[in-house]
Amino acid sequence: MESQVRGGTRWKRFAVVMVPSVAATACIGVALAQGALAASFSVSGQSFKVTTKQLDGTGFSQYGALDEGYTLDGKKTVHPVAVSAFKSATIKSLCQSVVTPNIPVLGNVSLILRAGDGATPVEAENLYIDVAQLEADAVFRGIDIGVAAKDANKGPGMKGGGEQSNPYGFAQQADSVTLKDVKQTAWATTAGTFKLSGLKMSLSTGVKECY
């Protein structure tokens, strides 16, 4: 991705970092690589914050990985993440936020995306979240801890083309999971399909985040 520089290019960069909140979570088709070492994947130079009132997922797996990316001044970097994968998930009261700093004239600009606040939750299939930090009340059903990542067969499989990961590394999996009062910081989100019911998006100056 392009580094953040001066003038109009900075606005282009601002558009690029919206990808985790909108395009990547809405319409990216994920290529799955069962048991294969995933290739490197470049993410934006910013993490983003997510909150949900409740996430109910089926076919869950989680394993460690490295996301390659760039700092805001264009230097290459690597982010350690825990990849949480779901075959399917429903999400109540989703909020995603990202703050882009140092926009000319405006300073910091915040984007907040909300969905699933009504009777219809957000729905996702083959959902992958590259998590840097997570807080939640969690219930796992049919959980297996300490399997090799390549052998975690309850979830959608390792993310092909999505990150650097060891197929023989530590992983856990479960038939289903419920996460309540979720607060997380993530570097990337991808899904085969992502239905955002009641989508609302807002832009404002200053730092305004989901938490």
Along the chain (211 residues), what's the average pLDDT of each consecutive run of 10 residues?
Answer: 40 38 31 34 78 98 89 84 96 95 90 96 95 96 95 90 81 97 94 93 95 95
Q: Measuring CA to CA, which residue among 168, 153, 193, 181 is closest to residue 61?
A: 153
Residue 162: name the closest of 185, 130, 194, 131 by CA: 130
Q: From the CB of residue 9, how many other CB atoms can be counted at a distance below 10 Å?
A: 12
pLDDT of residue 46: 85
> Domain residues of the chain, as ranges?
7-205
Per-residue confidence (pLDDT) for residue 187, from 0 to 100: 92
Cα distance between residue 203 and residue 98, in whole Å = 10
* pTM attached to this predicted model: 0.79
Count Cβ neighbours within 10 Å for each residue of 132-152 and write b for 16 or more, e otherwise: eebebeeebeeebeebebbeb
Report pLDDT for 21: 35
Report residue 118 as tokens.
């009504």
